[in-house]
Chains A and B, each alone.
Chain A
């Protein structure tokens, strides 16, 4: 990234990148999955309509979170954002509960 070549060799830099890679891949997929569940339960219409709306939204979340993971000021903030979104969407899905029928 923006760091000078000399800074790139240290374990600190590598740990930083590794943490962001995990946040931007597994973390982004986790956020997308929770968003899919929240929107699926939140959306108006039938059960299948919610699934479709949720799935389409989820794909958009992946690049957004992946980019956030690398733009955030530090790896802790990157993971903080991921955890906050997972908690938000997860809690939303959990509170609404599965649809009747």
Chain B
């Protein structure tokens, strides 16, 4: 027993439970989508299986700008992400007469690839925008993250024996097992959970905690941004037409100034104007800090008009915390640890939500409110993954070249999750769990196979490309996990019934 009073611990457990319940479902969506975003480039490649062309990053960006100059010259800006050892296409955002569109551009021809899809970007955006319009999604995500911070700290204080719980698991004991599982998931990766929650808040700081900026800059936001990124060149359009100089020398000059480190992102402001600006950013894969150096060029002449490498300690601290959340520096084993940490946090949230119901059910019949919670648990904990798996199946089944194809995939994902939620609300949980987990398992098994999936697999293996097989393997692992879930819930039901009968007889 530690020095914390028992009363304190009870209050912390109470607060942990209620804060978890309040935003648990939102946190589940955020954690699951965030975990999948660890493999954002890999998911994007899986979702564009026939777009396998590859080129060096300088050549790919040059091809992209050639295509954009011919097809989107009026755009106010082109925002490009270069291919690297993980992604083979150029990710581009530009406006073609009105709304901005996001497209993957072929690294050789520069034209958009045929299978129009958001790819991994869908999960990445969902993680902090939750399919809600700006700024509401980001606000909800911020509130959820603050709540999670409270839930984590109270969960830690409520804990009696942190070390012993590490090694405690009592299977098939109802509430005990859920509690042991929840504790192990929470404790084992606790430093990761704290880091990812805190750094996640920092990524949305200008939205959720703008008061430091208000105190030091009043309402002069532009001045604050200028101080944060003093190297940024913000030059208005001249209003006269201009032609971009060859971009490859600019990219090579930028890399020379980065000390040989590669660039990753390139933005081109007012590309068809005489005052166009090309800005090249250092890759985040080379260090923990995010966006620590940039070089800007005068578009028509290719002359350097601004360069900046971040060295100020406070701002570097900020970029490192930001970079820790993005995890783009993590390669190999570390990337898998990010994935594992995220998966454990997702499961900790899910098991916590289930524990809320299990704990109350073992004491007394569930109240109406808790019966709704129980069904919502089924609908969200199984329904959201169903939506994700449907998204991947839709990617394989919708023909390439379909109009609004990318949006259609998203609609199918949201509709599938919505239908699953309605089913879960309509049927009793003892049917809902196995039904929806069964559907999830089938969808996860279908995704690697349908729409010519096996042909893509054999082509990838013949090329020696292990990205597509890896995602296939993860989907099969998810299907296995879901079927274990089906077995667990069906068996637990019969166990409980047997105990109840035993009690009634005694």
Instruction: List residues of chain A with CB under 8 Å of any chain B CB.
Output: 1-2, 24, 29, 32-34, 36-41, 45-56, 58-59, 62-63, 66-67, 70-71, 93, 98-99
Contact = CB atoms under 8 A, between A and B. Distances in A.
B442 interface: no
A48 B209 contact: no
A58 B204 CA distance: 13
Contacts of A54: 211-212, 215
Given A52-B318, A70-B11, A62 B215 contact: no
Nearest to B205: A55
A77 B140 CA distance: 29
Contacts of B228: 48
A53 B150 contact: no
Contacts of A52: 212, 314-315, 317-318
B149 A62 contact: yes
Interface residues on B, range: 35 or more
A53 B317 CA distance: 9
Nearest to B201: A59
B215 A66 contact: no
Contact of A2 (B7, B209, B227): B7
B315 A36 contact: no
B202 A49 contact: no
B216 A98 contact: yes
B314 A48 contact: yes
- Most central of B14, B212, B312, B317 by chain A CB within 10 Å: B212
B154 interface: yes
Given A48-B315, A63-B154, A93-B215, 13 more contacts: A2-B10, A33-B209, A36-B209, A36-B212, A39-B212, A40-B215, A40-B216, A47-B216, A49-B315, A51-B224, A52-B315, A55-B209, A67-B15
A28 B146 CA distance: 10
A70 B154 CA distance: 11
Contact of B209 (A1, A59, A63): A59
Contacts of A99: 216
A38 to B, nearest CB: 8
Given A2-B10, A49-B315, A41 B215 contact: yes
B372 interface: no
The 6 closest A-B pairs by CB, nearest first: A49-B314, A54-B212, A37-B215, A40-B212, A48-B227, A51-B212
Given A40-B212, A41-B216, A48-B224, A63 B153 contact: yes
B198 interface: yes
A99 B215 CA distance: 8
B205 to A, nearest CB: 5
Contacts of A34: 211
A98 B209 CA distance: 18
B150 A67 contact: yes
A50 B216 CA distance: 8
A7 B224 CA distance: 52
A1 B10 contact: yes
A96 B303 CA distance: 44
- Most central of A47, A50, A63 by chain B CB within 10 Å: A63
Contacts of A70: 11, 14-15
23 contacts: A24-B15, A24-B150, A36-B211, A36-B212, A37-B215, A41-B216, A45-B314, A48-B312, A49-B312, A49-B315, A50-B215, A51-B212, A51-B215, A51-B216, A52-B315, A53-B314, A58-B209, A59-B149, A66-B19, A70-B15, A98-B215, A98-B218, A99-B216
